[in-house]
Amino acid sequence: MNAGDARVVQTTMRARLAMILLAVATMLAAAVVVGGAGEAEARVGGRPPAFTLPAVPGGPTRGRFSLDEHLGRHPVVILFWATWCRPCRQELPLYQGLYERHRRQGLVVLAISMDGSSSLPAAGSLARRLGLTFPVLSDLDTSVTGRMNPRRAAPLSVWVDRRGRIVREREGFSLSERDEIAAGVARLVTGR
C-alpha cells in the first residue's frame, strides 16, 4: 500500500468513527429526553406516573387498581417485589401490619409483582400465604416497573404523601428497619 492509499484508508476510518460517535451521541441524547437511560421516571419530590394494573391471579384482590384514584387524596406505599426475593417475604407482612393499623386513616398499600409469566401464578398464592389483604398487582409488560424501578430492585418501596409527591424511595429491606419504617409510615399518614 502506498502513502496515498494509506491516507484514503485513514480518512475513511476517521469518517466512519465520526459517524459512529455521532450515532452514539444521538442515542444518548434521546435516552435523556425520555427519562434517562436506566433512571426512574419519578424521584423523591416528584409525582409517580399514573397507572392501572390488574390484580395477580389468585391473589387477595381482584380486578384492576388505578393509582390515579388515590394520588393527591391518600398516602400511598408502593412495593416492588418478586416471588424469588427473600427480603420481600419479610417486608410484605410488615407493611400488611402497617396497612391494618393505618387504613382507617386513608393509607393505601399496594405491591407490584415483577414476576414473569412463568412465576406469576406463584405470586398470588404467596401473597395469600403471607396474609396480605392489600392489592397485589401484576406488571407483566413491565410498563410501571420500567418507569419507576428500571433497575428491577427487589424490594423497592416508594412512599407517596397526600399531595401526590414521592417522599421516600428505598431499595432493599432489613428486619432491623421495622421501627424506622413504622414511625415513617405513621408520619406519612399524619402528614407530619
**Sign (positive/negative) of CA torsion 86, 184, 109, 144?**
negative
**Sign (positive/negative) of CA torsion 4, 8, 13, 14?**
positive
Predicted pLDDT at 97 = 98
What's the Cα-to-Cα distance from 82 to each of 9, 76, 93, rounded to whole Å? 53, 19, 14
pLDDT tens-digit series, residues 86-135: 999 999 999 999 999 999 999 999 999 999 999 999 999 999 999 999 99
97-108 core/surface letters (b: 16 or more CB in 10 A; e: else): ebbeebeeeebb
Predicted pLDDT at 10 = 65
End-to-end CA distance of the chain: 77
Nine cell digits for residue 162: 397526600
Predicted pLDDT at 192 = 77
The superfamily (CATH) of domain 52-190 is Glutaredoxin (3.40.30.10)
In contact, 123 and 85? CB cutoff 8 Å: no
In contact, 189 and 106? CB cutoff 8 Å: yes
Which stretches in the chain have pLDDT values below 70? 1-42
**What is the model's pTM?**
0.79
Residues 6+ apart with CB under 8 A from 122: 83, 115
Nine cell digits for residue 47: 409525582
In contact, 140 and 120? CB cutoff 8 Å: yes
Q: Respond yes or no on whether the N-terminal peptide bond of residue 54 is cis (omega within 30° of 0).
A: no
Residue type, 147: R
Taking the domains of the chain in order of start, what are their residue ranges? 1-37, 52-190
| CA 87 remoteness from chain centre | 16
3-state secondary structure at position 113: strand
> What order of strands is seen across the sheet that includes strand 136-138?
136-138, 108-113, 76-81, 156-160, 166-171
